[in-house]
Structure 1
Protein backbone atom coordinates (compact mmCIF):
# COMPACT_ATOMS: atom_id res chain seq x y z
CA UNK A 1 0.00 0.00 0.00
CA UNK A 2 2.90 2.37 0.61
CA UNK A 3 4.11 2.12 -2.99
CA UNK A 4 0.54 2.48 -4.24
CA UNK A 5 0.09 5.69 -2.30
CA UNK A 6 3.34 7.10 -3.59
CA UNK A 7 2.09 6.55 -7.12
CA UNK A 8 -1.36 7.98 -6.42
CA UNK A 9 0.09 11.32 -5.42
CA UNK A 10 1.36 11.84 -8.94
CA UNK A 11 -1.90 10.95 -10.68
CA UNK A 12 -5.22 12.72 -11.32
CA UNK A 13 -5.95 15.56 -8.93
CA UNK A 14 -9.25 14.02 -7.85
CA UNK A 15 -8.05 10.46 -7.41
CA UNK A 16 -8.79 9.07 -3.94
CA UNK A 17 -7.36 5.89 -2.45
CA UNK A 18 -8.86 4.33 0.68
CA UNK A 19 -7.97 1.18 2.60
CA UNK A 20 -9.07 -0.81 5.64
CA UNK A 21 -6.93 -2.82 8.05
CA UNK A 22 -7.95 -5.60 10.36
CA UNK A 23 -8.10 -9.36 10.74
CA UNK A 24 -10.29 -11.61 8.62
CA UNK A 25 -11.77 -15.08 8.80
CA UNK A 26 -13.67 -15.98 5.64
CA UNK A 27 -17.09 -17.60 5.95
CA UNK A 28 -16.83 -21.39 5.36
CA UNK A 29 -18.99 -21.21 2.23
CA UNK A 30 -16.77 -18.48 0.82
CA UNK A 31 -13.70 -20.65 1.41
CA UNK A 32 -15.43 -23.56 -0.34
CA UNK A 33 -16.55 -21.37 -3.23
CA UNK A 34 -13.06 -19.99 -3.76
CA UNK A 35 -11.63 -23.51 -3.70
CA UNK A 36 -13.89 -24.78 -6.48
CA UNK A 37 -14.02 -21.45 -8.35
CA UNK A 38 -17.81 -21.21 -8.07
CA UNK A 39 -18.21 -17.70 -6.60
CA UNK A 40 -19.78 -15.06 -8.88
CA UNK A 41 -17.37 -12.46 -7.44
CA UNK A 42 -14.46 -12.98 -5.09
CA UNK A 43 -12.29 -9.87 -5.17
CA UNK A 44 -12.48 -6.29 -3.92
CA UNK A 45 -12.77 -4.77 -7.40
CA UNK A 46 -15.85 -6.81 -8.38
CA UNK A 47 -17.61 -6.66 -5.03
CA UNK A 48 -16.96 -2.93 -4.59
CA UNK A 49 -18.64 -2.28 -7.95
CA UNK A 50 -21.65 -4.38 -6.95
CA UNK A 51 -21.96 -2.65 -3.59
CA UNK A 52 -21.41 0.86 -4.99
CA UNK A 53 -24.07 0.29 -7.65
CA UNK A 54 -26.45 -1.04 -4.99
CA UNK A 55 -26.18 2.16 -2.95
CA UNK A 56 -26.21 4.34 -6.08
CA UNK A 57 -22.64 5.53 -5.57
CA UNK A 58 -21.09 4.41 -8.86
CA UNK A 59 -21.52 2.64 -12.15
CA UNK A 60 -18.91 0.39 -13.79
CA UNK A 61 -17.19 1.64 -16.91
CA UNK A 62 -19.06 0.97 -20.14
CA UNK A 63 -22.59 1.18 -18.78
CA UNK A 64 -23.13 4.57 -20.41
CA UNK A 65 -24.60 5.96 -17.20
CA UNK A 66 -23.37 9.02 -15.35
CA UNK A 67 -22.09 8.08 -11.91
CA UNK A 68 -23.73 9.73 -8.94
CA UNK A 69 -20.51 9.69 -6.91
CA UNK A 70 -17.45 8.19 -8.64
CA UNK A 71 -15.82 6.12 -11.33
CA UNK A 72 -14.06 3.09 -9.86
CA UNK A 73 -10.37 2.60 -10.55
CA UNK A 74 -8.05 -0.09 -9.24
CA UNK A 75 -8.62 -2.22 -6.16
CA UNK A 76 -6.85 -5.00 -4.30
CA UNK A 77 -6.94 -7.20 -1.24
CA UNK A 78 -5.21 -9.65 1.03
CA UNK A 79 -7.92 -11.97 2.28
CA UNK A 80 -5.69 -14.50 3.98
CA UNK A 81 -8.09 -16.17 6.40
CA UNK A 82 -5.87 -16.58 9.45
CA UNK A 83 -7.16 -13.96 11.88
CA UNK A 84 -3.92 -11.96 11.66
CA UNK A 85 -3.99 -8.16 11.45
CA UNK A 86 -3.05 -6.72 8.05
CA UNK A 87 -4.26 -4.38 5.32
CA UNK A 88 -7.31 -6.26 4.04
CA UNK A 89 -8.40 -4.24 1.02
CA UNK A 90 -7.96 -0.97 -0.83
CA UNK A 91 -9.93 0.94 -3.44
CA UNK A 92 -9.12 3.76 -5.82
CA UNK A 93 -11.90 6.06 -7.07
CA UNK A 94 -12.28 9.20 -9.15
CA UNK A 95 -15.20 11.39 -8.01
CA UNK A 96 -17.44 12.51 -10.85
CA UNK A 97 -19.78 14.76 -8.91
CA UNK A 98 -19.92 18.52 -8.47
CA UNK A 99 -16.33 19.51 -7.57
CA UNK A 100 -17.69 21.82 -4.88
CA UNK A 101 -19.11 18.89 -2.92
CA UNK A 102 -17.06 17.18 -0.20
CA UNK A 103 -15.09 14.14 -1.34
CA UNK A 104 -16.91 10.78 -0.93
CA UNK A 105 -14.12 9.32 1.20
CA UNK A 106 -16.47 8.05 3.87
CA UNK A 107 -18.80 6.41 1.35
CA UNK A 108 -15.85 4.60 -0.23
CA UNK A 109 -14.67 3.31 3.16
CA UNK A 110 -18.23 2.19 3.91
CA UNK A 111 -18.27 0.22 0.66
CA UNK A 112 -15.05 -1.56 1.66
CA UNK A 113 -16.49 -2.30 5.11
CA UNK A 114 -19.60 -3.81 3.51
CA UNK A 115 -17.44 -5.93 1.19
CA UNK A 116 -15.47 -7.36 4.10
CA UNK A 117 -18.62 -8.06 6.09
CA UNK A 118 -20.05 -9.92 3.12
CA UNK A 119 -17.18 -12.36 2.74
CA UNK A 120 -16.20 -13.03 6.33
CA UNK A 121 -16.03 -12.21 10.03
CA UNK A 122 -13.55 -9.38 10.36
CA UNK A 123 -12.07 -7.12 13.02
CA UNK A 124 -11.49 -3.46 12.25
CA UNK A 125 -8.13 -1.98 13.24
CA UNK A 126 -7.48 0.96 10.92
CA UNK A 127 -8.53 3.14 7.98
CA UNK A 128 -6.32 4.99 5.52
CA UNK A 129 -6.96 7.56 2.83
CA UNK A 130 -4.92 9.51 0.31
CA UNK A 131 -6.93 12.53 -0.79
CA UNK A 132 -6.39 15.91 -2.45
CA UNK A 133 -6.75 19.00 -0.26
CA UNK A 134 -9.14 20.95 -2.44
CA UNK A 135 -9.72 24.65 -2.17
CA UNK A 136 -13.26 25.93 -2.69
CA UNK A 137 -14.98 23.08 -0.85
CA UNK A 138 -16.22 22.97 2.72
CA UNK A 139 -15.47 19.54 4.27
CA UNK A 140 -15.69 21.08 7.74
CA UNK A 141 -19.34 21.94 7.08
CA UNK A 142 -19.97 18.28 6.28
CA UNK A 143 -18.15 17.14 9.43
CA UNK A 144 -20.01 19.66 11.57
CA UNK A 145 -23.40 18.69 10.16
CA UNK A 146 -22.87 14.97 10.84
CA UNK A 147 -21.31 15.12 14.30
CA UNK A 148 -24.73 14.67 15.96
CA UNK A 149 -24.64 11.02 14.81
CA UNK A 150 -21.58 10.39 16.97
CA UNK A 151 -22.85 12.49 19.86
CA UNK A 152 -25.28 9.63 20.56
CA UNK A 153 -22.35 7.46 21.64
CA UNK A 154 -21.78 6.65 25.31
CA UNK A 155 -19.97 9.71 26.76
CA UNK A 156 -18.37 7.47 29.40
CA UNK A 157 -16.82 5.24 26.74
CA UNK A 158 -13.23 5.99 25.71
CA UNK A 159 -11.47 4.43 22.73
CA UNK A 160 -7.82 5.21 22.07
CA UNK A 161 -6.37 5.51 18.58
CA UNK A 162 -3.53 7.18 16.70
CA UNK A 163 -3.43 9.35 13.59
CA UNK A 164 -0.59 9.97 11.16
CA UNK A 165 -0.98 12.88 8.72
CA UNK A 166 1.52 13.31 5.87
CA UNK A 167 1.69 16.25 3.47
CA UNK A 168 3.58 17.18 0.34
CA UNK A 169 6.76 19.20 0.72
CA UNK A 170 5.34 22.60 -0.24
CA UNK A 171 3.47 22.67 3.09
CA UNK A 172 6.56 22.57 5.34
CA UNK A 173 6.76 26.35 5.64
CA UNK A 174 3.03 27.02 5.30
CA UNK A 175 1.19 24.90 7.85
CA UNK A 176 1.30 26.01 11.48
CA UNK A 177 1.05 22.66 13.25
CA UNK A 178 -0.10 24.21 16.54
CA UNK A 179 -2.97 26.01 14.82
CA UNK A 180 -3.82 22.80 12.97
CA UNK A 181 -4.00 20.86 16.25
CA UNK A 182 -6.15 23.60 17.79
CA UNK A 183 -8.52 23.40 14.81
CA UNK A 184 -8.86 19.64 15.26
CA UNK A 185 -9.70 20.01 18.94
CA UNK A 186 -12.09 22.90 18.25
CA UNK A 187 -14.18 21.02 15.69
CA UNK A 188 -13.83 17.69 17.48
CA UNK A 189 -14.69 19.10 20.93
CA UNK A 190 -16.81 16.69 22.94
CA UNK A 191 -16.29 13.86 20.47
CA UNK A 192 -12.60 13.40 19.72
CA UNK A 193 -9.52 14.75 21.52
CA UNK A 194 -6.21 15.22 19.69
CA UNK A 195 -2.84 15.25 21.47
CA UNK A 196 0.05 16.35 19.28
CA UNK A 197 2.93 13.85 19.32
CA UNK A 198 5.17 16.02 17.15
CA UNK A 199 6.14 16.14 13.49
CA UNK A 200 9.07 16.49 11.15
CA UNK A 201 9.97 15.99 7.49
CA UNK A 202 10.33 12.21 7.41
CA UNK A 203 7.90 9.49 8.43
CA UNK A 204 8.23 7.26 11.44
CA UNK A 205 6.12 4.42 12.74
CA UNK A 206 4.07 4.88 15.89
CA UNK A 207 2.30 1.54 16.24
CA UNK A 208 1.49 -1.62 14.34
CA UNK A 209 3.03 -2.89 11.12
CA UNK A 210 3.20 -0.69 8.03
CA UNK A 211 0.33 1.53 9.12
CA UNK A 212 2.02 4.83 8.35
CA UNK A 213 1.83 5.93 4.72
CA UNK A 214 3.68 9.17 4.15
CA UNK A 215 3.93 11.65 1.34
CA UNK A 216 7.42 11.90 -0.14
CA UNK A 217 9.52 14.81 1.18
CA UNK A 218 6.67 16.27 3.19
CA UNK A 219 5.68 17.19 6.71
CA UNK A 220 4.43 14.28 8.84
CA UNK A 221 2.46 14.73 12.06
CA UNK A 222 1.24 12.28 14.70
CA UNK A 223 -1.64 12.53 17.14
CA UNK A 224 -2.85 10.40 20.02
CA UNK A 225 -6.65 10.51 20.16
CA UNK A 226 -9.65 9.46 22.21
CA UNK A 227 -13.27 9.10 21.12
CA UNK A 228 -16.54 7.65 22.37
CA UNK A 229 -16.38 4.78 19.89
CA UNK A 230 -14.11 2.98 17.46
CA UNK A 231 -15.93 2.28 14.19
CA UNK A 232 -15.34 2.62 10.47
CA UNK A 233 -17.83 5.50 10.47
CA UNK A 234 -15.95 7.34 13.21
CA UNK A 235 -12.61 6.83 11.45
CA UNK A 236 -14.14 8.18 8.23
CA UNK A 237 -15.47 11.22 10.07
CA UNK A 238 -12.04 11.88 11.57
CA UNK A 239 -10.41 11.63 8.13
CA UNK A 240 -12.86 14.22 6.77
CA UNK A 241 -12.24 16.44 9.79
CA UNK A 242 -8.47 16.25 9.32
CA UNK A 243 -8.80 17.12 5.62
CA UNK A 244 -11.02 20.08 6.41
CA UNK A 245 -8.69 21.45 9.08
CA UNK A 246 -5.72 21.09 6.72
CA UNK A 247 -7.55 23.16 4.11
CA UNK A 248 -8.59 25.75 6.70
CA UNK A 249 -4.95 26.16 7.73
CA UNK A 250 -3.65 26.68 4.19
CA UNK A 251 -2.32 23.23 3.25
CA UNK A 252 -2.37 22.23 -0.43
CA UNK A 253 -1.68 19.20 -2.60
CA UNK A 254 -2.29 15.67 -1.34
CA UNK A 255 -2.49 14.31 2.18
CA UNK A 256 -2.12 10.74 3.42
CA UNK A 257 -4.13 10.11 6.60
CA UNK A 258 -3.81 6.94 8.67
CA UNK A 259 -6.17 6.22 11.59
CA UNK A 260 -5.20 3.19 13.68
CA UNK A 261 -6.66 1.68 16.83
CA UNK A 262 -4.32 1.45 19.79
CA UNK A 263 -6.60 -0.87 21.74
CA UNK A 264 -8.45 -4.14 21.25
CA UNK A 265 -10.10 -4.94 17.95
CA UNK A 266 -13.83 -4.46 17.49
CA UNK A 267 -15.91 -6.74 15.30
CA UNK A 268 -17.07 -5.49 11.92
CA UNK A 269 -17.96 -1.82 12.25
CA UNK A 270 -16.56 -1.85 15.76
CA UNK A 271 -19.70 -2.16 17.87
CA UNK A 272 -19.14 -5.62 19.40
CA UNK A 273 -16.08 -6.69 21.43
CA UNK A 274 -13.98 -9.51 20.01
CA UNK A 275 -14.52 -12.61 22.16
Structure 2
Protein backbone atom coordinates (compact mmCIF):
# COMPACT_ATOMS: atom_id res chain seq x y z
CA UNK A 1 0.00 0.00 0.00
CA UNK A 2 1.26 3.47 -0.89
CA UNK A 3 1.44 6.10 1.86
CA UNK A 4 2.85 9.54 1.21
CA UNK A 5 5.02 10.56 4.15
CA UNK A 6 6.41 13.74 2.64
CA UNK A 7 7.92 15.53 -0.30
CA UNK A 8 10.92 17.65 -1.20
CA UNK A 9 10.81 20.57 -3.63
CA UNK A 10 13.84 22.46 -4.88
CA UNK A 11 12.21 25.81 -5.66
CA UNK A 12 13.77 28.55 -7.81
CA UNK A 13 12.30 31.25 -5.56
CA UNK A 14 13.49 34.11 -7.78
CA UNK A 15 11.34 32.74 -10.63
CA UNK A 16 8.25 32.06 -8.52
CA UNK A 17 5.16 34.09 -9.49
CA UNK A 18 2.90 35.82 -6.98
CA UNK A 19 0.59 32.94 -5.98
CA UNK A 20 -1.74 34.70 -3.53
CA UNK A 21 -4.75 34.52 -5.86
CA UNK A 22 -4.29 30.77 -6.35
CA UNK A 23 -3.63 30.24 -2.65
CA UNK A 24 -6.90 31.86 -1.57
CA UNK A 25 -8.82 29.57 -3.96
CA UNK A 26 -6.96 26.55 -2.60
CA UNK A 27 -7.65 27.64 0.98
CA UNK A 28 -11.37 27.74 0.20
CA UNK A 29 -11.13 24.21 -1.22
CA UNK A 30 -9.28 22.83 1.81
CA UNK A 31 -11.78 24.62 4.04
CA UNK A 32 -14.37 22.10 2.82
CA UNK A 33 -12.51 19.24 4.53
CA UNK A 34 -13.83 17.63 7.72
CA UNK A 35 -13.97 20.39 10.33
CA UNK A 36 -12.94 17.89 12.99
CA UNK A 37 -10.03 16.61 10.92
CA UNK A 38 -6.50 17.20 12.16
CA UNK A 39 -3.30 16.52 10.28
CA UNK A 40 0.06 17.69 11.58
CA UNK A 41 2.99 18.25 9.26
CA UNK A 42 6.48 19.66 9.45
CA UNK A 43 7.74 22.12 6.85
CA UNK A 44 11.46 22.82 6.64
CA UNK A 45 13.33 25.33 4.52
CA UNK A 46 16.95 24.77 3.56
CA UNK A 47 19.07 27.28 1.69
CA UNK A 48 22.61 28.40 1.17
CA UNK A 49 24.13 30.97 3.51
CA UNK A 50 24.02 33.56 0.72
CA UNK A 51 20.20 33.34 0.69
CA UNK A 52 20.14 35.54 3.79
CA UNK A 53 17.35 33.65 5.54
CA UNK A 54 19.09 33.44 8.91
CA UNK A 55 17.13 35.28 11.60
CA UNK A 56 14.03 35.65 9.38
CA UNK A 57 11.92 32.81 10.82
CA UNK A 58 9.26 35.12 12.31
CA UNK A 59 8.89 37.03 9.04
CA UNK A 60 8.48 33.85 6.97
CA UNK A 61 6.07 32.42 9.57
CA UNK A 62 3.84 35.48 9.35
CA UNK A 63 3.90 35.52 5.55
CA UNK A 64 3.00 31.81 5.49
CA UNK A 65 0.15 32.35 7.96
CA UNK A 66 -1.25 35.12 5.76
CA UNK A 67 -1.13 32.84 2.71
CA UNK A 68 -2.89 29.97 4.51
CA UNK A 69 -5.97 32.19 5.01
CA UNK A 70 -6.84 30.53 8.32
CA UNK A 71 -6.93 27.01 6.86
CA UNK A 72 -3.55 25.90 8.23
CA UNK A 73 -1.72 26.82 11.41
CA UNK A 74 1.97 27.68 11.17
CA UNK A 75 4.26 27.67 14.22
CA UNK A 76 8.04 27.96 14.20
CA UNK A 77 10.13 25.22 15.85
CA UNK A 78 13.90 24.81 16.17
CA UNK A 79 15.50 23.67 12.91
CA UNK A 80 16.66 20.06 12.83
CA UNK A 81 15.44 16.74 11.46
CA UNK A 82 12.16 16.86 13.40
CA UNK A 83 9.48 14.81 11.69
CA UNK A 84 11.68 13.54 8.88
CA UNK A 85 12.31 9.99 10.13
CA UNK A 86 11.70 7.58 7.27
CA UNK A 87 11.59 10.33 4.65
CA UNK A 88 13.89 9.66 1.72
CA UNK A 89 16.57 12.25 1.04
CA UNK A 90 15.83 14.71 -1.77
CA UNK A 91 16.50 13.45 -5.28
CA UNK A 92 18.11 16.73 -6.28
CA UNK A 93 21.83 16.20 -6.69
CA UNK A 94 24.65 17.66 -4.69
CA UNK A 95 25.21 20.25 -7.42
CA UNK A 96 21.78 21.79 -6.79
CA UNK A 97 21.68 21.41 -3.00
CA UNK A 98 25.36 21.59 -2.12
CA UNK A 99 25.93 24.12 0.63
CA UNK A 100 22.26 24.19 1.64
CA UNK A 101 21.51 23.87 5.33
CA UNK A 102 18.20 23.79 7.12
CA UNK A 103 17.55 27.36 8.19
CA UNK A 104 14.02 27.08 9.57
CA UNK A 105 11.33 24.59 10.53
CA UNK A 106 7.60 24.91 11.16
CA UNK A 107 4.93 22.67 12.66
CA UNK A 108 1.73 23.11 10.68
CA UNK A 109 -1.77 21.74 11.09
CA UNK A 110 -4.43 21.35 8.41
CA UNK A 111 -7.70 19.42 8.37
CA UNK A 112 -6.29 16.56 6.30
CA UNK A 113 -3.07 15.03 4.99
CA UNK A 114 -2.91 14.29 1.28
CA UNK A 115 -0.60 14.90 -1.69
CA UNK A 116 -2.74 17.99 -2.45
CA UNK A 117 -2.26 19.41 1.05
CA UNK A 118 1.50 18.76 0.86
CA UNK A 119 1.67 20.60 -2.48
CA UNK A 120 -0.47 23.46 -1.12
CA UNK A 121 1.79 23.84 1.96
CA UNK A 122 4.81 23.89 -0.35
CA UNK A 123 3.26 26.62 -2.49
CA UNK A 124 2.46 28.65 0.64
CA UNK A 125 6.11 28.60 1.70
CA UNK A 126 7.46 29.28 -1.80
CA UNK A 127 5.23 32.35 -1.99
CA UNK A 128 6.19 33.44 1.53
CA UNK A 129 9.87 33.24 0.57
CA UNK A 130 9.18 35.14 -2.66
CA UNK A 131 7.29 37.87 -0.78
CA UNK A 132 10.16 38.22 1.69
CA UNK A 133 12.49 39.11 -1.16
CA UNK A 134 14.44 35.85 -1.10
CA UNK A 135 16.02 35.30 -4.51
CA UNK A 136 18.03 32.10 -4.08
CA UNK A 137 16.82 28.53 -4.55
CA UNK A 138 15.39 26.85 -1.47
CA UNK A 139 14.77 23.21 -0.63
CA UNK A 140 11.35 22.91 0.99
CA UNK A 141 10.37 19.67 2.70
CA UNK A 142 6.82 18.89 3.86
CA UNK A 143 6.45 15.72 5.92
CA UNK A 144 4.29 13.90 8.42
CA UNK A 145 6.02 14.01 11.80
CA UNK A 146 6.63 10.90 13.86
CA UNK A 147 6.36 13.13 16.90
CA UNK A 148 5.99 16.85 17.35
CA UNK A 149 8.43 18.83 19.49
TM over 0.5: yes
Question: Which structure: greater strand fraction?
Answer: 1
The Cα offsets for residues 119-171 of structure 1, whole Å up to 9 and x where unpaired, read as xx311211211110025721233222322111100122111111111122222
Runs of at least 5 residues in structure 1 that lack an aligned partner in the other structure: 1-120, 264-275
The answer to which structure, 1 or 2, has the higher relative contact order (CA under 8 A, 6+ apart) is 2
Question: Which structure would you say has the larger Rg?
Answer: 1
Q: Does 1:133 align with 2:16?
A: no
- Over 6 Å off, 4+ runs: none
The Cα shift of 1:209 comes to 3.3
Distance 1:262 1:174, change over 3 A: closer
1:153 has 2:29 as partner: no
* Structure-1-length-normalised TM-score: 0.46
Corresponding residue for residue 180 of structure 1: 60
Distance (whole Å) between structure 2 residues aligned to residue 190 and residue 229 of structure 1: 14
Query: Could you say if the C-alpha distance between residues 136 and 237 of structure 1 is closer, same or farther in structure 2, counting changes exceeding 3 Å?
Result: closer
Q: C-alpha separation between the residues in 1 aligned to 2:135 and 2:56? A: 13
Relative to structure 1, is the Cα distance of residues 129 and 239 closer, same or farther in structure 2, using a 3 angstrom cutoff? Answer: same
Contiguous gaps of at least 5 residues in structure 2: 91-96
Please state if 1:244 is matched with 2:122: no
Rounded Cα–Cα distance in structure 1 between residues aligned with 2:100 and 2:33: 39
**TM-score normalised by structure 2 residue count:** 0.81
1:196-231 Cα distance to aligned partner (Å, 9 max, x none) = 0134xxxx3113135565662455211111110000
| Matched length | 140
Rounded to whole Å, the distance in 2 between the matches of 1:230 and 1:173 is 28
CA separation in 1, counterparts of 2:73 and 2:127?
A: 16
SS at 1:170 equivalent = helix
